[in-house]
Amino acid sequence: MAARWLTVVLMASCAGCGGGGGGGAPANPRAPTQQSAGGLWFAVGGGSSATTLMIAETGELKVTTPPTSSYGPGFGHGAVTVSGSRVEGSFETRAIGSAPGSAGTELDCTVSGTVSTRASLQLTTVCVDTAGASTTASLSFMYDARYDTDSSLAELAGNYTLSINNATNTLNINGDGTLFGMYSNGPRCTLNGTVSIIHPDFNLYRFDVLFSNCTVLASRYEGAKMTGFATRNVPGQKAGAFLLLLTGAIDGRVEFASVLYEPV
């Protein structure tokens, strides 16, 4: 399976522009061009090559990290801001435990680096685990042009299931963005919520989901609210399939659901 954006407001003013005089002062030639980190990004090279980022035009992000010798892959959420080409932000993740139902390692990470819009992203991450141990990594990310596809609630609307346990995993998305489903992939709960368009020019959807009527893991998931990002037309999958990563904080711990939904 194969995890929030600074809006720049430009303000201009003109002082002493009366009496037929000249215009305002010329632009500062040294001012950096404002970049965007929005996109689907895949780390290349090194031990973190399976790290992926889904970054919205709002700066909100979802992250997936590769498995280690002790734990499975990690999933999490965070945010970045951009000034010129400089990126700053943070995220937190939790990995899948080595035994069913066990809690994996948790990390709090800060990120800094540079971005070239829809081209390249260079980040240094500093992650601290619950024991206080710190790990620093330098990551180079490749941009996935699938992000350039338009998003549309009309195209997303439909009935979906998972490739596994498809009889007990269902999802219906209406044309107005409301959703209803049954989720039985760890927790067993009813799903209600909404899907919204983040930016119509890009292939990233926002999900807001409420878990209820849970019969498995109810103590953790009953009444839980999660937010997620989804991207459509995953390579090698059915046309219209979408990858959804939901994350949320429950009792101070990162919980997540990363699933591939396929059209029925």
| pLDDT tens for the 264 residues of the chain, in order | 333 222 121 112 222 333 333 444 444 455 568 999 999 999 987 655 689 999 999 999 999 998 887 788 999 999 999 999 999 999 999 998 765 555 678 999 999 999 999 999 999 999 999 999 999 999 999 999 999 999 999 999 999 999 888 889 999 999 999 999 999 998 999 999 999 999 999 999 999 999 999 999 999 999 999 999 999 988 899 999 999 999 999 888 899 999 999 999
Same domain, 53 and 133: yes
Q: Are residues 121 and 219 in the same domain?
A: no
- pTM of the entire structure? 0.84
Q: Are residues 118 and 159 in the same domain?
A: no
Q: Residue 100: its pLDDT value, please? A: 54
Structurally, the chain folds into a number of domains equal to: 2
Select from 114, 148, 182 the last residue of a domain: 148
For the record, the structure tokens of 212 come out as 């209820």
Structure tokens at 256: 């997540």
User: Other C-beta atoms within 10 Å of 194: how many?
Assistant: 16
Say if 192 falls within a structural domain.
Answer: yes
Element (H, E) at 134: strand 134-144
Q: Specify the pairing of strand 205-216 against strand 188-197.
A: antiparallel
Give the model's pLDDT for residue 16.
Answer: 30
State the CB neighbour count (10 A cutoff) for residue 258: 19
**CB contact set of 29 (below 8 Å; sequence gap of 6+):** none
- Same-domain pairing of 231 and 181: yes
Measured CA distances, 164 to 141, 151, 185, 259 (Å): 31, 27, 9, 10
Q: Spell out the alpha helix ranges (H) of 4-123.
A: none
Sign of CA dihedral 128, 106, 122, 208: negative
The range of the structural domain enclosing residue 56 comes to 39-148
Are residues 115 and 161 located together in one domain of the fold?
no
Residue 128, C-beta contacts closer than 8 angstroms, at least 6 positions apart: 107, 108, 109, 134, 135
Q: Which of 109, 124, 148 is the last residue of a domain?
A: 148
Torsion of the alpha carbons at 235, 241, 242 and 243, rounded to the nearest 10? -60
Cα separation, 22 vs 25, whole angstroms:
9
- In contact, 203 and 147? CB cutoff 8 Å: yes
Claim to verify: residue 165 and residue 252 sit in the same structural domain? yes
For 200, list phi and psi in degrees, rounded to 5. Answer: -65, -20
Q: Which residues contact 91 (CB under 8 A, 6 or more apart)?
A: 61, 63, 76, 77, 78, 79, 109, 111
Cα atoms found within 13 Å of the Cα of residue 185, Cβ hemisphere only: 22
Of 104, 75, 101, give the one whose Cα is nearest residue 186: 101
Residue 68 confidence (pLDDT): 81
C-alpha span between 232 and 95 (Å, rounded): 24
Same domain, 201 and 105: no
Q: Is 9 within the bounds of a domain?
A: no
